[in-house]
Structure 1
Amino acid sequence: MAESSGIEWTDATWNPLTGCTKISAGCANCYAEPLSRRLQLMGSDRYHNGFELTLHEHVIDLPMRWKRPRRVFVNSMSDLFHVDVPTDFIQRVFATMVAAKWHQYQILTKRSDRLSELAGQLPWPEQIWQGVTVESAAYVSRIDHLRAVPAMTRFLSLEPLLGPIPNLDLSGIHWVIIGGESGSRSRPIEREWVIDIIAQCDAQQVPVFFKQWGGPAKHLAGRSLDGRTYDGLPAPPSQRIALPTLFPEE
């Protein structure tokens, strides 16, 4: 948990669970795994299990203690919809998000199948944003799962972007984050992939946040494209303009 965050698209992180298991290509160089091991070696109580999935009951109500409104990334060090997280624990995390309604909550998962299964058992007020990670075209089925979730703000994290994603269907999606992988073992991102995805988002009127080029020294690579930064955020539901249908009724 942290009352502030260096992640460009959020203000704070909240980790009622930590640790995870790898599920797809984007997990190969997971930043949370070495960080968890490091915190374990440093003697952190919350990371005594290292990167093993661990529930932290005592921080479920943490956002209630934050009085200043902020955007909160939920489980930056895990995945709330991991198969081994009990449903009632997930429901209690959601209950906190409902109660502490002065914040906005950004949830990301790669386990879109479980998200889809549980969506009907969870509340979806405006402050809860739900997203899925799609690191390449091999995982676009996660977007279909997300579309079925009745969240008022649905978003994609295309990070780490590991390949092109042509023909991206953004119907029912309100925000897209793009980012390259960082770290000593980072896999390269191609400029053409980023340009194409931004063009697709523009054509479908979906705001884009380009987070980083990544690489071994991400601070040197920066996050600008042709001298421009992309800092888009989703509009509030009440301010969104519906796109015209391609096939209006006769």
Structure 2
Amino acid sequence: MSICIKDQIQNMNIVIGCTVGCAYCYARNNVKRWHMIDDFAAPEFFPGKLKMMEKKRPQNFLLTGMSDLSGWKPEWRDEVFAKIRENPQHQFLFLTKRPDLLDFDTDLENAWFGVTVTRKAELWRIDALRKNVRAKHYHVTFEPLFDDPGIVDLSGINWIVVGTMTGAQSRKIHTEPEWAWSLTDQAHKLGIPVFMKEDLVPI
């Protein structure tokens, strides 16, 4: 998959709701605002949206924009994976903050599994992803970056994203350019593509 920019990614909210409980969760706020489901802490599955995958023109889909993969029931995941296999023309992105709760194998060529890391104390998520999700492609989203992650083990990672806090909280939380440049340098030394979000200096 070539590295895509934000407006090249389609959100496909097959599951809405999350049990992680992040204080700064934009998804929870949007769900409440638009009355998508009654209880954000009780994820719901919307299999009818799988028909979106039948589009012929190749697209990039984010399937966890309103959920966390760790909160998906195994049967939901199996149904989604089966549909992904039927549609190799697309690329599908998944994100989680709780890879320790996952444990599965997949040989899907067009599925990318990633973790969100916002601070050094969360680097364990990368190791847990590689251990618990045996997949073809991995990515890491360092966004919003709250502190300097230092030296990061990016072995086996295929793509990273670096970004800062946006929206109402952006004035309170600032990502230092040095942190972003350090991650970029580490990734480039390993030949890993980097996408720097538009709110940081472009690479």
Change (3 A) 1:152 1:58: closer
The answer to whether the Cα contact below 8 Å between 2:45 and 2:76 also exists between their aligned partners in 1 is no
Aligned equivalents of 2:146 and 2:90: distance in 1? Answer: 32
How far, CA to CA, are the matches of 1:97 and 1:135 in structure 2?
Answer: 29
- TM score, norm. by length of structure 1: 0.72
After superposition, residues 225-240 of structure 1 pair within 5 angstroms as 225=201, 229-230=202-203
Equivalent residue, structure 2, for 1:15: 13
Amino acid at match of 2:184: I
Q: What is the alpha-carbon root mean square deviation over aligned residues?
A: 1.9
Q: Does 1:210 align with 2:193?
A: no
Aligned counterpart, 2:54: 65
Q: What is the aligned partner in structure 2 of residue 114 from structure 1?
A: 101
Residue correspondence of structure 1 range 1-250 to structure 2 within 5 A: 8=6, 10-23=8-21, 27-40=22-35, 47-49=36-38, 51-82=40-71, 85-115=72-102, 117=103, 119-120=104-105, 123-148=106-131, 149-186=133-170, 187-213=173-199, 223=200, 225=201, 229-230=202-203
How big is the shift at 1:112? Answer: 0.5
Distance 1:211 1:50 in 2: 31
- Contact map agreement 2:20 2:68 (CA 8 A) in 1: no
Superposition deviation, residue 65 in structure 1: 3.0
Report if aligned partners of 2:116, 2:141 keep a CA contact under 8 Å in 1.
Answer: yes
Q: Taking structure 2 as the reference length, what is the TM-score of the superposition?
A: 0.88
Contact 2:16 2:40 in 1 (8 A): yes
Structure (1 or 2) with the larger CA radius of gyration: 1
Measure, in 2, the Cα distance between the counterparts of 1:9 and 1:179: 15
- Unpaired segments of 5 or more residues in structure 2? none
Residues 59/21 of structure 1: CA separation in 2 closer, same or farther (3 Å cut)? same
In structure 1, what is the Cα distance between the partners aligned to 2:97 and 2:13? 16
SS of alignment partner, residue 62 of structure 1: helix
Task: Assess if the C-alpha contact under 8 Å between 1:71 and 1:105 holds in 2.
Answer: yes
Give the Cα separation in 1 of the matches to 2:47 and 2:97: 25
- 1:50 CA drift (Å): 5.3
**Are the counterparts in 2 of residues 159 and 177 from structure 1 also a CA contact under 8 Å?**
yes
In the TM superposition, residue 179 of structure 1 has moved relative to its aligned partner by: 0.6
Equivalent pair of 1:9/1:211 in contact (CA under 8 Å): no
The one-letter code matched in structure 2 to 1:202 is: H
Letter of the aligned partner of 2:168 in structure 1?
A: S
How many residue pairs get aligned? The number is 196
Between the two proteins, what is the percent identity of the paired residues?
A: 33
Q: Conserved in 2, the CA contact under 8 Å of 1:112 and 1:132?
A: yes
CA deviation after TM superposition for structure 1 residue 76, in Å: 0.4
Deviations 1:148-168 (A, max 9, x none): 333221110001111111111
Q: Give the CA deviation at 1:10.
A: 4.2
Q: What is the DSSP-based 3-state SS (H/G/I as helix, E as strand, rest coil) of the residue aligned with 2:134?
A: coil
C-alpha displacement at 1:144, in angstroms? 0.8
CA distance, structure 2, for counterparts of residue 207 and residue 193 of structure 1: 17
Higher normalized contact order (CA 8 Å, seq sep 6+, divided by chain length): 2
CA distance in 2, matches of 1:175, 1:9: 18
Structure 1: which 4+ aligned runs deviate by more than 4 Å? Answer: none
Is residue 60–residue 93 contact of structure 1 (8 Å, CA) maintained in 2?
no
Q: Deviations over 1:31-90 (max 9, x none)?
A: 1111111111xxxxxx141534332333352333322110111120111221xx321111
